[in-house]
Every structure is written in structure tokens, then in C-alpha cells.
Amino acid sequence: MRMLKTIAAVALFATLAAAQHSKAAGPADVLSTVEAHKSLTMFRTSLISSGVASMLRSDGPFTVIAPTDQAFANVPKDEMQKLLTHPAAMNFLLARYVVRGNIASRDAAGFSSAKTLMGVNLRSENPNGELTVNGAKIVEGDIRCANGVVHVVNSIDFSLVREAIAIASPAPTLTTKSQTPKP
């Protein structure tokens, strides 16, 4: 019986120590949280290719609207390829999904007044009690991080994708033939 009490006491102390260690470590930063989320692998890849990843390890706070892998899969392949091969285009797109500051999913007014890293307001609506941001429904909200919060969304606004590609693509050059008159 004495041995059983000793084992129970050791197990209790081990559990309390593990809980204290977990509490002391606190939540991960935004980038680590995205990396650990199983349905955000394409978003993580996009953050890295665009150069936005390192910023999301800094102090913040940041509110990140993170499209799922399925959302990225719905982007036409040629457009996705352009985003992945042009870091400036991907950076432009992702900057429309990141806000400085902490916005909880219950704060629809906070979303509509928040300015993205591109300096434009997020578009938010709350039809039938389902909050959408940039046209996408929040499917998992309020994932707390050490330096902000992540809201997972189910789609990507294709108009923002096309705008990012257009902005980052080089402008066509006009060539004209010299029209010198013949003598």
C-alpha cells in the first residue's frame, strides 16, 4: 500500500511539473502555430516564399487570416504557379491577409476597420451570424499565439489573387517601328 501511495505521489508531481512547464512555455508565435496546423501547409509555404514568414516570428501582435490547403487548391493552377514563382506577387497577396493588432473573431467591427499590411481595410460581413473576411468564412477562429491570433478561412478571394499577379508582373513594353519618311 505504501508503494502505491509513493507511485501516486510521484505521478502527481510529474503531472504538475509538466503542466507548469507547458504553462511557462506559453503559446507559440504565429509562424510556429501555422507550421503546426495540419490544414495550413500551403499557407506556410506561401509565407516562406513571400518573405512574410520572418515577420510573423517578431513581437507583433498580428491577426492572420490563413486560407486552408483546400482554399489554395481552388486557385487556378496557372495563377498559383505565378504566385509561387513570383515572391512579390505572393507577398502582395498575403499582405492582404495580415493585420497589425489582435482582432478576436467575435469582433466583426474590428475586422471591418482593420487595415492590412497593404494599408487597405479588410472586407468583412456577418450574414446569418457567420463572419466572413475578404469573402471567406472563418472556419476556425481565435487560435491564440504568443504574438497574435490566427483565423483559418475556407477560401481565397480570386480578385485579390489576380490583382497580386498583375501588380507583380512586369508591364508589357511598347515597341514601335521608326516611321521615318523615305526620301
Encode 102-148 in three state secondary structure.
CCCCCCHHHHHHCEECCCCECCEECHHHCCEECCEEEEEEEEEECCE
pLDDT (mean) for 105-132: 85
- Give pairs for 53-58: CB < 8 Å, separation 24+: 56/29, 56/30, 56/31, 56/98, 56/147, 56/148, 57/29, 57/30, 57/31, 57/32, 57/147, 58/147
Instruction: Supply the pLDDT for residue 166.
Output: 92
pLDDT confidence of 108, banded at 50, 70, 90? confident
Q: Please tell me the least confidently modeled range out of 36-40, 96-100, 140-144, 179-183.
A: 179-183
For residue 18, the model assigns a pLDDT of 42
E-strand spans in 15-80? 62-67
Listed by start position, the domains of the chain span 26-168
Kind plus residue range of the DSSP H or E element containing 4: helix 2-25
Q: How confident is the model at residue 179 (pLDDT cuts 50, 70, 90)?
A: low
Residue type, 136: A
Buried b vs exposed e over 53-89: b needs ≥16 C-beta within 10 Å? bebbeeebbbbbbbbbbebbeebeeebbebbbebbeb
Helix axes 87-94, 41-50, angle to 10 degrees: 120
Query: How much of the chain exceeds pLDDT 70, in percent?
Result: 78
pLDDT-based confidence at 125, cuts 50/70/90? confident
- Range 48-75 average pLDDT: 93
pLDDT at 174: 58
Q: Say whether domain 26-168 belongs to CATH 3.30.450.20.
A: no
- The pLDDT assigned to 183 comes to 55
Q: Would you place residue 101 in the very low, low, confident or very high pLDDT band (cuts 50, 70, 90)? A: very high
Confidence (pTM): 0.77
Q: Is 152 left (phi over 0), alpha (psi -120 to 50) or beta?
A: beta
Radius of gyration, CA atoms only, the chain: 23
> In three state form, how does the secondary structure of 23-41 look?
HHHCCCCHHHHHHHCCCCH
Does 167 score more than 50 pLDDT? Answer: yes
